[in-house]
Amino acid sequence: MQNFIAQAKRFVRDEEGATMVEYGLMVALIAIVCIGAITTIGTTLNAVFSDIAAKL
């Protein structure tokens, strides 16, 4: 029984899995922000190039 309690305490103190999840969430959030920024910039650039093409 004491072995089980010791393993349970060790499991609760172990933060390696939680850290991996936090890093995964940060990477996902950064990816979403990058995709949103690239999409916005791409749409704006498309409008600029279309405007230039129309003036030519």
CA–CA distance, 56 with 52 (Å, rounded to integer): 6
* Opening angle at CA 34, ends 17 and 27, nearest 5: 5
Predicted pLDDT of residue 22 = 86
- pTM confidence score: 0.57
Q: For residue 49, what are its two tokens?
A: 């190039």
CB atoms within 10 A of CB 39: 10
Residue with tokens 């309690």: 5
**Residue 11 above 80 pLDDT?**
no
CB atoms within 10 A of CB 34: 10
Mean pLDDT of 39-50: 90
